Amino acid sequence: MTNATDYPFKSLIGLNTEELRGVAVTLGEPAFRGNQLAEWLYRRGAADFSAMSNLPASFRLKLAKEYTPGRSTIITRQHSADGTVKLLLEMADGAQVETVGLPYSERRSCCVSTQAGCPVGCAFCATGLSGFQRNLSAGEIVDQVLAVNTSFSESPVNPNQTVDHVTFMGMGEPLLNYEAVVKALRLLSQEMGISARHLTISTIGHVAGIRRLAQEELPVTLAVSLHAADDDLRRQLIPGWKHNLAEIISAAQEYLVATGRRLTFEYCLLAGVNDRPDDALQLAKLLKGLNCHVNLIPFNPVDDIPFKSSPAIHVRAFQHLLENHGIAVTARLRRGADIDAACGQLRRRQA
């Protein structure tokens, strides 16, 4: 599996304060200049060295000879009437990824990608249709949050707002890019000041990755994408994934015990496929006794994918059946319906 390439100019986004202090010293500057770099990169979102006004011009010149801040280029920007912003970003090697900013009354959330494309190949996901290109670096993941902050600041709908919640729920399987994802989590928490409790890792059920994450001492939320409570149906929806439900639930329970964090299970409702009363009862049985919450996710239709969204009456019935069996559940509102809302849809349309 490939990773982000080394480029002629090294990216500073992706380095923590201590590493940036090392860069400053290597270039003949006092170490505290690294603290100033971190402030400009992560807190102020500076996209070029010329904006870093309290750094000596000589230092900025030395930086420019070897380094780049590491910001991506916005290829396409879509704004929804509900305030949602979707960006298609191009990295230094031309790899393109999507990120989404979601403003709510009580928070500003960003959904980031961890891979350019995705190797998992869920049958209902647009990302898999375009194949897998490579893993993203920690800096390329964090850059997406910075890009959404910039878009929020420029939007008449969301002025002066910055991201305070991040979900690793965009293109790619985060736990297949483990080291970069964990570093990005630490950068978001320690450098950008976003509470670790406001960071969510969504996985299709990478058992080894879940167990490894449980030992990181990062109080992030684990969200497991189930989409079916029956192994046969799940294999149809996620044909390339080897772990069965018993293995996934067991690993999730280990995460719960190790971290004390309530589990989240995601379930994308597909009309006539996994939204029937029997499906709800199977899911309630599977999750019985777990300290968990279920997110029912509306399906965003995609060209060349045959699935359809569940009717609202089916969503309500599914939700009520889970609630009647003691399962905490939320039916997520559809956001960005007037733009290319489905993950991978904008990238594929651009291609």
What string of DSSP letters covers 44-71?
S---SGGG-TTS-HHHHHHHHHHEE---
> Is 98 a known active-site residue?
yes
Determine if residue 14 is labeled as part of a ligand binding site. no
Q: Do 176 and 209 meet the contact criterion of CB atoms below 8 Å apart?
A: yes
Determine if residue 125 is labeled as part of a ligand binding site. yes
Catalytic residue among 110, 268, 292, 343: 343
Angle formed by the axes of helices 178-186 and 138-154, nearest 10°? 50
Place of tokens 């559809």: 334
Determine if residue 172 is labeled as part of a ligand binding site. yes
Determine if residue 122 is labeled as part of a ligand binding site. yes
Q: Do 72 and 89 meet the contact criterion of CB atoms below 8 Å apart?
A: yes
Catalytic residue among 39, 66, 98, 106: 98
Place of tokens 């309530």: 262
Determine if residue 113 is labeled as part of a ligand binding site. no
If residue 313 lies in a helix (H) or strand (E), which one and from where to where? helix 312-324
Q: Decide: residue 18, CB within 10 A, 0-12 exposed, 13-18 middle, 19+ buried.
A: exposed
Determine if residue 300 is labeled as part of a ligand binding site. yes
Determine if residue 165 is labeled as part of a ligand binding site. no
> Is 268 a known active-site residue?
no
Cα 249 to Cα 292: distance, rounded to the nearest angstrom: 11
Q: Do 136 and 98 meet the contact criterion of CB atoms below 8 Å apart?
A: no
Both tokens of 66, joined, read: 């070897």
Determine if residue 11 is labeled as part of a ligand binding site. no
Both tokens of 67, joined, read: 């380094």
Place of tokens 């956001």: 335
Alpha helices in 115-262 (DSSP H): 138-154, 178-186, 207-213, 231-237, 245-259
If residue 229 lies in a helix (H) or strand (E), which one and from where to where? none
Cα 78 to Cα 272: distance, rounded to the nearest angstrom: 31
Q: Per the annotation, where are the binding residues for S-adenosyl-L-methionine?
A: 172-173, 202, 225-227, 300
Q: Per the annotation, where are the binding residues for [4Fe-4S] cluster?
A: 118, 122, 125
Q: Per the annotation, where are the binding residues?
A: 118, 122, 125, 172-173, 202, 225-227, 300
Q: Which residues are identified as catalytic?
A: 98, 343
